[in-house]
């Protein structure tokens, strides 16, 4: 192991990474109130465990399929973060051209495709996410609060522009900002979407987000780590946690669709669902024709810095509650937790590395609690670290970043969304 690698090994008490985490822990824990774990759900307990900065969590109970793959040995050593290939019971259901698919008997509908995306395609997807996708007309988290130039934040940043990005609120008359809307986001309704309440979803009020009054003009390089998400396809309204179908849809990038289709058609769905007795509603037996009917039309690109987490949640905004959700991991590795229909189900921890694909499908998996409690520091694989061509700036950004491309199908096959009649 090289000296840089051992210096980064968070579990080695002699390493710089360990000493830094310990120092920070001692500093911040001095004034911390004693908290009781009395009423934590099993999901919350797991989140707390993996979020802990010091001592760093052991990953011996985390499924890490790369740990059983000699071709990924270098990746697995990174930062001292290593799970175990046998930590969780799963079954290999396909192996072809060096690619494999695994299923989990205790989470029917969950599929893991380790290293499914080649290093070359990982780079293509990262470039696409930042350079082409995270800009208008696709919304990002920054648009509500900043006037991001049309060329997109990444492109402004990469030409080393010094020009500050201005707050959106500066352009508004403060008296015109609706009262009571500048505080925390209020959730209006979080009912799972379905064919039955679809019309209601269409007409529910979806007020625009209120720009922050406190953000300051910020340089592109300071704003880049604040980029948190970029919308794909149908617009998503975060205030109501519903899609805003009245705004129309932006086409999903063909290259991305192709990657997702390849992942879906790699899975032998019969192995998962042939004997499945759960309630599929109107979508019964749809899995038999997914290879032809799967058509993603929405999603999100998540950008995580190493301190970011994604709390336990259920993706219930899609009208179709069974169609495959394809989730692609790029850059730094992360701990992903997937549980059941309540937070009381103990979640399964899975270590996701760059190039891994998770598919959540079917009625038992599509709407379960899941989250990302930890991005693992110093885990960028060497194939994304090497400079060259246009890659240097991406490599630098990825040192502390994980990108997740989360792609969904909102409507079941045959469902005709009548949206033209609604005014935009
Ligand atoms: O980052 C991930 O792996 C999961 C993201 C996710 O669950 C979501 O975007 O809904
Ligand atoms: Fe999710």
What are 168-187's pLDDT values in tens digits?
987 776 666 555 444 444 44
When pLDDT is cut at 50, 70 and 90, the band that residue 348 belongs to is very high
Q: What is the pLDDT of residue 414?
A: 80
314 alpha carbon to ligand 2 midpoint, in Å? 6
157 alpha carbon to ligand 2 midpoint, in Å? 29
Average pLDDT (59-76) is 97
Which residue is closest in CA terms to ligand 1's atom 8?
A: 406
Which residue is closest in CA terms to ligand 1's atom 10?
A: 315
Residue 367 has pLDDT above 50, yes or no: yes
How large is the angle between the packed helices 254-266 and 119-127, nearest 10 degrees?
Answer: 140
Q: What is the pLDDT of residue 279?
A: 92
Most confident of 188-192, 236-240, 311-315: 311-315
Q: What is the pLDDT of residue 37?
A: 58
Contacts of 407 by beta carbon, 8 Å cutoff, 6+ apart: 232, 252, 256, 260, 296, 298, 299, 325, 326, 327, 328
Residue 198 has pLDDT above 90, yes or no: no
52 alpha carbon to ligand 2 midpoint, in Å? 22
Which residue is closest in CA terms to ligand 1's atom 7?
A: 371
- Asked whether 372 lines ligand 1 (CB < 6 A), one says yes
Q: Which of 236, 358, 206 is nearest to 299 (CA)?
A: 236
On whether the CB atoms of residues 371 and 313 are closer than 8 A, the answer is: yes
Which residue is closest in CA terms to ligand 1's atom 2?
A: 404
When pLDDT is cut at 50, 70 and 90, the band that residue 191 belongs to is confident
Q: Which residue has the tokens 């824990």?
A: 29
When pLDDT is cut at 50, 70 and 90, the band that residue 246 belongs to is confident
* Atom number in ligand 1 closest to CA 370: 7
363 alpha carbon to ligand 1 midpoint, in Å? 18
The ligand minimizing its distance to the Cα of 373 is: 1
* Atom number in ligand 1 closest to CA 315: 10
Report residues near ion ligand 2: CB below 5 Å: 315
Q: Is 188 helix (H, G, I), strand (E, B) or coil?
A: coil
404 alpha carbon to ligand 1 midpoint, in Å? 7
- Asked whether 206 lines ligand 1 (CB < 6 A), one says no
On whether the CB atoms of residues 406 and 302 are closer than 8 A, the answer is: yes
pTM of the model: 0.93
On whether the CB atoms of residues 414 and 295 are closer than 8 A, the answer is: no
From 92-96, 158-162, 188-192, 385-389, the region with the lowest mean pLDDT: 188-192
Which residue is closest in CA terms to ligand 1's atom 1?
A: 404
Q: β-strand 370-375 against 357-360: which pairing, if any?
A: unpaired
Backbone angles phi, psi at 267, to 5 degrees: -85, 125
Q: What is the pLDDT of residue 413?
A: 81
Task: Give me the interface pTM, i.e. the ipTM.
Answer: 1.00
342 alpha carbon to ligand 1 midpoint, in Å? 17
- The domains found in the chain, sorted by start residue, are 1-35 (no CATH), 43-141+173-210+227-424 (2.60.120.590)
Q: What is the pLDDT of residue 1?
A: 44
When pLDDT is cut at 50, 70 and 90, the band that residue 229 belongs to is very high
Q: What is the pLDDT of residue 34?
A: 55
Residue 248 has pLDDT above 50, yes or no: yes
Q: Kindly state the tokens that stand for 185.
A: 């986001």
Cα(372)–Cα(330) distance, rounded to whole angstroms? Answer: 14
């Amino acid at each position: 192991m090289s000296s840089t690698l051992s210096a980064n090994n968070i579990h080695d008490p002699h390493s710089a990474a360990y000493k830094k985490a310990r120092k920070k822990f001692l500093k911040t824990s001095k004034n911390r109130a004693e908290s009781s774990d009395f009423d934590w759900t099993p999901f919350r307990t797991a989140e707390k465990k993996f979020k802990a900065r010091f001592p760093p969590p052991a990953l011996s109970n985390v499924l890490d399929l790369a740990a059983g793959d000699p071709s990924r040995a270098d990746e697995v050593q990174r930062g001292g973060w290593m799970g175990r290939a046998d930590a969780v019971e799963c079954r290999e259901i396909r192996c072809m051209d060096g690619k494999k698919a695994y299923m989990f008997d205790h989470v029917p509908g969950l599929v893991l495709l380790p290293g499914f995306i080649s290093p070359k395609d990982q780079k293509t997807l990262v470039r696409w996410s930042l350079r082409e996708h995270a800009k208008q007309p696709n919304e990002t988290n920054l648009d509500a609060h900043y006037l991001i130039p049309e060329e997109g934040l990444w492109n402004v940043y990469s030409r080393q522009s010094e020009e500050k990005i201005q707050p959106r609120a500066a352009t508004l008359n403060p008296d015109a900002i609706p009262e009571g809307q500048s505080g925390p986001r209020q959730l209006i309704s979080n009912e799972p979407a379905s064919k039955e309440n679809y019309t209601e979803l269409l007409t529910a009020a979806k007020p625009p987000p209120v720009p922050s009054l406190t953000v300051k003009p910020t340089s592109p390089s300071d704003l880049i780590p604040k980029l948190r998400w970029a919308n794909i396809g149908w617009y998503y309204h975060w205030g109501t946690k519903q899609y805003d179908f009245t705004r129309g849809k932006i086409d999903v990038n063909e290259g991305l669709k192709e990657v997702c289709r390849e992942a879906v058609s790699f899975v032998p769905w019969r192995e998962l669902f042939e004997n499945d007795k759960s309630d599929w509603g109107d979508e019964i037996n749809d899995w038999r024709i997914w290879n032809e009917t799967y058509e993603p039309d929405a999603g999100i690109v998540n950008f995580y810095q190493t301190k970011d987490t994604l709390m336990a949640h259920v993706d219930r905004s899609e009208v179709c509650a069974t169609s495959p959700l394809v989730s692609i991991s790029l850059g730094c590795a992360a701990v992903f937790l997937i549980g059941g229909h309540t937070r009381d189900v103990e979640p399964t921890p899975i270590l996701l590395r760059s190039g891994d694909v998770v598919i959540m499908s079917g009625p038992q998996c599509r709407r379960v609690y899941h989250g990302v409690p930890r991005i693992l520091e110093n885990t960028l694989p060497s194939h994304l670290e090497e400079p060259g061509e246009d890659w240097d700036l991406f490599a630098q950004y990825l040192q502390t970043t994980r990108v997740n491309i989360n792609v969904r199908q909102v409507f079941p096959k045959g469902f005709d969304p009548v949206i033209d009649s609604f005014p935009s």
